[in-house]
Amino acid sequence: MNVVVCVKQIPDPADPGALDPTTKTLKRDGKLILDESDSYGVEMALQLVTTAGGGEVTLVSMAPNGEVSGLRTALAMGAAKAILVSDDALAGSDALGTAKVLAKAIERVEGADLVLTATESSDGYTGTVPEQIAGLLDLPSVTFAKHIEVDGSKVKVQRQTEAGYDDVECPLPAVVSVTAGVVEPRYPSFKGIMAAKSKPVDTLTVADLGLEASQVGWAGAGQEIVAIEAAPARESGEVVEDDGTGFEKIVAYLDNLKVL
Amino acid sequence: MALNTIWVLAEASDGTVTNPTLELLTKARELAGTVEAVYAGSDADAIAGTLGEYGATKVLTTGDLGGALPGVPVANAIAALIEGGSAPDVILATTGTLGRDVTGRLSAKLDRTVLTNNVDLEVDGDKLVTTEPVFGGATNVKTTFTAGGPHIVLVRPKSFVAESAGGGAAAVEAIAVPDPGKSGGATITERHVEEREGPSLDDAAIVVSGGRGLGESEKFAMVEELAKLLKGAPGASRAIVDAGWVPYSYQVGQTGKVVKPTVYIAAGISGATQHMVGMKGSKNIIAINKDAEAPIFSISDLGIVGDVHKVLPALIEALKSR
Ligand SMILES: Cc1cc2nc3c(=O)[nH]c(=O)nc-3n(C[C@H](O)[C@H](O)[C@H](O)COP(=O)(O)OP(=O)(O)OC[C@H]3O[C@@H](n4cnc5c(N)ncnc54)[C@H](O)[C@@H]3O)c2cc1C
Ligand SMILES: Nc1ncnc2c1ncn2[C@@H]1O[C@H](COP(=O)(O)O)[C@@H](O)[C@H]1O
């Protein structure tokens, strides 16, 4: 069982940065880390490979600035190798441009049975990249997986829905996007961190993938930001320390609104 | 009017058109001369009345999909119509599982961008401009398309107020679902519906949500009890949905429900940006958190810095004895 996991490397969410006023995109010049949302896919992939009793996990990532530290984290968890697509031409890519790059990179992984992504990235959260990848690769797909099992040549998924969940079966190879509830990601061990340093990371350019620079980045993006505006701020009201009578404040507030 | 035709990806459950669909139809009517609905399901006839009332002149329906996950067949059916020459200017869908699946597939098929997570749409000259809130709603980003249409846009629920146009039933028109080829085969084998009692999160005037600060799964009972006493609906942060304390249908936020009740009570919730985008539009926000620095207090109208295990039981007792 060979699993490809798409992992995005993002600015630390604890320090989300800002929008660059000239390029009108998120500034991504600092260090990038593994998107926590993708750690679930990495863990799921590792467990599926273990259960299958053979195979390996390959990571695929696109990052404009050659960043590998997020990949190293996922390699330290146990992935075997990684493909990083990095190129100046990638800056400004929209979701479809990103999917084109990732799909081409995934095609280079031989014998992939399953491609995993997160349902949405923490910094971009378009949530469309998984289906776009599947569409470009002409593969079936299941999104919002909260449980995954592989059964011979098909994958069985519990797919989160607005009302509960659906049991879904899908032939392999397939693209599956996972929620944060799917598994509990492991922390990389010291041994894993050491081993990750020498695991192969294949760094490719847009041209290596056979894509034109005009298909990706600013050039390929079918969208343009026209304005960035501060939203009307919501004022904070009274904040009181509970001295045992805090509940009375709430009752009085609700009373005043005549909702009791 | 700058736009001729908008297609709205319609959704219904148990024969009732969803509110977000009615919101999109209402907005679409304002932006374009012709509004048509696209619907995957066997009951288009049953909902054609409502779709028409809110402005759709036609329902283009795939009919029953025989258990197939809708993303591939619906996107293929829409793409076939467009390739056949009847392209709309804009396709609108709700940010959610169906909307994302269908528009993502369609985007790849048509080689067209999708603009996601929007809360507003306007036509400026000959351009469609969308508004997406970022940083928990502190900043709005306005975006337009640079390539040709159809322009595909995902809109968050509760972005617009649904208003009837008083129109007659929409004409039901069957559309072909092309053979999915290699991308077909994802099939629903069984549906599991988690029953909830009381008012739904979407409609409740009062929402009481609990977060990780409750400490353990059993303590969510306090949130449920308070919600019941207030005739409201219980909600949750993603942290406790992922932890398995409550089902996903309780989740409020970026990946969950958007709620705009009269009163939102957040108990043991920190106020992450992804939570805030789902509840910032509430008329009144009451927060209970033991950390005076919790971001939730920056948007609350009444903040109680205290322990949920003390404040909630006392509040419940006080309301019971009224
Ligand atoms: C792509 C993406 C999408 C996301 N979508 C959503 C979404 O839709 N909805 C959502 O909610 N989150 C979402 N999140 C997660 C979000 O970032 C936060 O992790 C989550 O909202 C935190 O939940 P919480 O506030 O319950 O937990 P925490 O952030 O852990 O906060 C717990 C709070 O409880 C307080 N507390 C602890 N003990 C007590 C006590 N005894 N009494 C009172 N207070 C106490 C603490 O001070 C703390 O502020 C998303 C994240 C990502 C990356
Ligand atoms: N640049 C990227 N590199 C690797 N994977 C990505 C990238 N962008 C998106 N993905 C994958 O697609 C998922 C959904 O992304 P998004 O559509 O941006 O919300 C992410 O959680 C990742 O798994």
pLDDT of res. B58:
98
Q: Give yes or no for residue B170 having a pLDDT over 50.
A: yes
Question: How many beta carbons lie within 10 A of that of residue B132, not counting itself?
Answer: 21
Contacts from B243-248 at CB under 8 Å and sequence distance 24+? B243/A181, B243/B212, B243/B217, B244/A181, B244/B217, B245/B214, B245/B217, B245/B220, B246/B220, B247/A164, B247/B194, B248/A146, B248/A160, B248/A161, B248/A162, B248/A164, B248/A165, B248/A179
Contact B72 A141 (CB under 8 A): yes
Lowest mean pLDDT among A54-58, A87-91, A156-160, B132-136: B132-136
Please say whether the beta carbons of B14 and B46 come within 8 A: no
Whole-Å CA distances, B76 to A89, A160, B26, B106, B109 = 31, 23, 26, 7, 8
Which of B280, B285, B24 lies closest to B159 in space, CA to CA?
B24
Of B69, B116, B247, the CB nearest to A128: B116
pLDDT of res. B136:
84
Please say whether the beta carbons of B240 and B214 come within 8 A: yes
Residue in chain A lying closest to B296 (CA): A236
Closest-lying ligand 2 atom to the alpha carbon of residue A85: 3
pLDDT (average), residues B100-109? 98
pLDDT-derived band at B197, boundaries 50, 70, 90: confident
For the stretch A99-116, pLDDT in tens is: 999 999 999 999 999 999
Query: Cα separation of A173 and A115, whole Å?
Result: 8
Instruction: State the virtual CA torsion across A92, A85, A154, A122 in degrees, nearest 10.
Output: -40
- Chain B residues within 8 A of A228 when measuring between CB atoms: 139-142
User: To the nearest whole angstrom, how far is the Cα of A201 from the nearest Cα of chain B?
Assistant: 28
pLDDT of res. A28:
61
Residue A84 CB–ligand 2 contact under 6 Å: no
Please, what is the average pLDDT of chain B? 96
Closest-lying ligand 1 atom to the alpha carbon of residue B294: 49
pLDDT (average), residues A20-34? 76
Lowest mean pLDDT among A13-27, B155-169, B279-293: A13-27
Closest-lying ligand 1 atom to the alpha carbon of residue A118: 1
Lowest mean pLDDT among B18-22, B69-73, B133-137, B154-158: B133-137
Under 8 Å CB pairs connecting chains A and B tally to 269
pLDDT of res. B306:
98
Residue B307 CB–ligand 1 contact under 6 Å: yes
pLDDT of res. A65:
86
Q: Ligand 2 centroid to B233 CA: how many Å?
A: 33
Contact B69 A142 (CB under 8 A): yes
Which of A12, A38, A125, A178 most suits a substitution to test ligand 1, by most atoms within 8 Å of the C-beta? A125
Query: Cα separation of A22 and A92, whole Å?
Result: 12
What's the sign of the alpha-carbon dihedral A124, A83, A85, A114?
A: negative
HEC sequence for A144-156: EEEEEEEECCEEE
Contact B299 A234 (CB under 8 A): yes
Q: Give yes or no for residue B301 having a pLDDT over 60.
A: yes
Of A125, A226, A238, the CB nearest to B143: A226
pLDDT-derived band at A256, boundaries 50, 70, 90: very high
ipTM, 2 dp? 0.95
Q: Ligand 2 centroid to A6 CA: how many Å?
A: 7
Of A161, A174, A230, the CB nearest to B139: A230
Contact A143 B101 (CB under 8 A): yes
For the stretch B235-278, pLDDT in tens is: 999 999 999 999 999 999 999 999 999 999 999 999 999 999 99
- Chain B residues within 8 A of A222 when measuring between CB atoms: 112-113, 145-147
Q: Give yes or no for residue A30 having a pLDDT over 80.
A: no
Percent of chain A with pLDDT over 70: 97
pLDDT of res. B195:
83
What's the sign of the alpha-carbon dihedral B31, B32, B35, B40?
A: negative
pLDDT of res. A14:
80
Which numbered ligand comes closest to the C-alpha of B270? 1
pLDDT of res. B5:
97
Please say whether the beta carbons of B259 and B282 come within 8 A: yes
Q: Give yes or no for residue A19 having a pLDDT over 80.
A: no
pLDDT-derived band at A29, boundaries 50, 70, 90: low
Which numbered ligand comes closest to the C-alpha of A97? 2
Q: Give yes or no for residue A198 having a pLDDT over 70.
A: yes
Q: Give yes or no for residue B10 having a pLDDT over 70.
A: yes
Of A128, A230, A257, the CB nearest to B104: A128
| Concatenated DSSP letters of A90-155 | GTT--HHHHHHHHHHHHHTSTT--EEEEESS-TTT----HHHHHHHHHT--EEEEEEEEEEETTEE
Higher-confidence residue of B127 and B89: namely B89
pLDDT-derived band at B126, boundaries 50, 70, 90: confident
Residue nearest to atom 53 of ligand 1 (CA): A122
pLDDT of res. A41:
98
Query: Token digits for A15?
Result: 């320090």
pTM for this structure? 0.95
pLDDT (average), residues B64-83? 97
Strand boundaries in chain B, DSSP class E? 3-10, 12-13, 16-17, 32-40, 58-63, 90-94, 114-118, 120-124, 127-134, 139-145, 151-155, 171-174, 187-193, 206-210, 233-236, 263-267, 284-289, 302-305
Contact A129 B288 (CB under 8 A): no
User: To the nearest whole angstrom, how far is the Cα of A195 from the nearest Cα of chain B?
Assistant: 31
- Chain A residues within 8 A of B100 when measuring between CB atoms: 127-128, 131, 143
Contact A248 B143 (CB under 8 A): no
Residue B305 CB–ligand 1 contact under 6 Å: no
Q: Give yes or no for residue B194 having a pLDDT over 90.
A: no
Higher-confidence residue of A13 and A35: namely A35
For the stretch A132-176, pLDDT in tens is: 999 999 999 999 999 999 999 999 999 999 889 999 999 999 999
Query: Cα separation of B89 and A149, whole Å?
Result: 41
In sequence order, the 6+-apart residues with CB closer than 8 A to the CB of B156 are B94, B95, B117, B118, B119, B258
Higher-confidence residue of A18 and A192: namely A192
Q: Give yes or no for residue A16 having a pLDDT over 70.
A: no
Q: Measured in whole angstroms, how far is the alpha carbon of residue B174 from the centre of its chain? A: 26
pLDDT-derived band at A192, boundaries 50, 70, 90: very high
